[in-house]
Amino acid sequence: MNKFDIENLDLFYGENQALKSINLPIPVRQVTALI
């Protein structure tokens, strides 16, 4: 079971696309860090 889900995330830094169509499940009772 997931606490929440990130689906189809696109991230731009200025005109440059840094992330494209990222899916990331965040599970319950688990530490998740993004660097």
In the chain, domain spans: 1-29
C-alpha distances in Å from residue 35, one per residue of 1, 21, 28, 32:
24, 18, 20, 10
pLDDT confidence bin for 26, thresholds 50/70/90: very high
Please write the tens of the pLDDT for every residue from 3-23: 999 999 999 999 999 999 999
From CA 34, how far away is CA 12, in angstroms rounded? 16
**SS3 for the chain, per residue?**
CEEEEEEEEEEEECCEEEEEEEEEEEECCCCCCCC
Under 8 Å CB-to-CB from 3, ≥6 apart: which residues?
26, 27, 28
pTM strictly above 0.85: no
pLDDT confidence bin for 34, thresholds 50/70/90: confident
